[in-house]
A = this chain, B = another copy of it.
Amino acid sequence: MSKAAETRQMILQRSFELIYQKGYQATSIDNILATTQVTKGAFFYHFKNKDEMGLALINEVLYPGMYATMVKPLLDSHDPVNEIYAMMRNLLIKIPFLRAKYGCPAINLIEEMSPLNESFRKALVRLTNEWQDAIADNIEQGKVKGDIRSNVNSKHTACFIVAGYSGIRNMGKAMGSGCYTVYLQELKNYLQQLK
């Protein structure tokens, strides 16, 4: 990776962390410059404006990260229901970067920016759909295997599960991580009942 590409990457990474904790609009460019030690000239050489940086951040940092932890574990599944649960448990309590107080970076961006920026919205819908589809595919495989009732609507169920995750991330911000374990218990019940 060239030095310029490294600078760009570093700006995206640090901005991602700042925005995760403070929100997109509340994170100023000067704020990013201070934590990256990059000058304004360098920043605006790499990105036309703040929103273009934000979009790059979604596609180049958020998307790969979420694909690895949310989608990949569900592909070529052997034990569908347990894999969905394990993925969720991993996501909620095994990734040190994600803290209850700050929620989930993807959910945060959807919440804050979807109504304000159409480009952001579309990029974030893509992430959500990919996750939802992976969950639905997983459930379909469970149906083929006979692990899951044939009258389960996989897409609807996937939507319900995604909503649950999104919601518990929101609750966690106000209530702390305690509600994660409660949620996981009920998720297990819900998944069990699909059998």
Binding site for B on A (CB under 8 A): 21-23, 25-26, 101-103, 107-108, 110-112, 114-116, 121, 124-125, 128, 153, 155-157, 159-160, 162-171, 173-175, 179, 182-183, 185-187, 190, 193
Partner of A183, one of B22, B108, B163: B163
Q: Are B174 and A128 in contact (CB under 8 A)?
A: yes
Contacts of A163 in B (CB 8 A): 164, 167-168, 170-171, 179, 183
Most buried by B among A103, A160, A162: A160
Cα distance, A173 to B170, chains bound together (Å): 14
State the Cβ distance, A67 to closest chain B Cβ, in Å: 17
Output the nearest chain B residue to A186 by Cβ-Cβ distance.
Answer: B160
Contacts of A165 in B (CB 8 A): 167
Q: Please give 4 more A-B residue pairs, beta carbons under 8 A apart, in addition to A111-B112, A111-B173, A190-B190.
A: A21-B115, A114-B174, A128-B171, A166-B168
Q: Are A23 and B112 in contact (CB under 8 A)?
A: yes
Cα distance, A193 to B162, chains bound together (Å): 20
Contacts of A102 in B (CB 8 A): 115
Output the nearest chain B residue to A193 by Cβ-Cβ distance.
Answer: B193
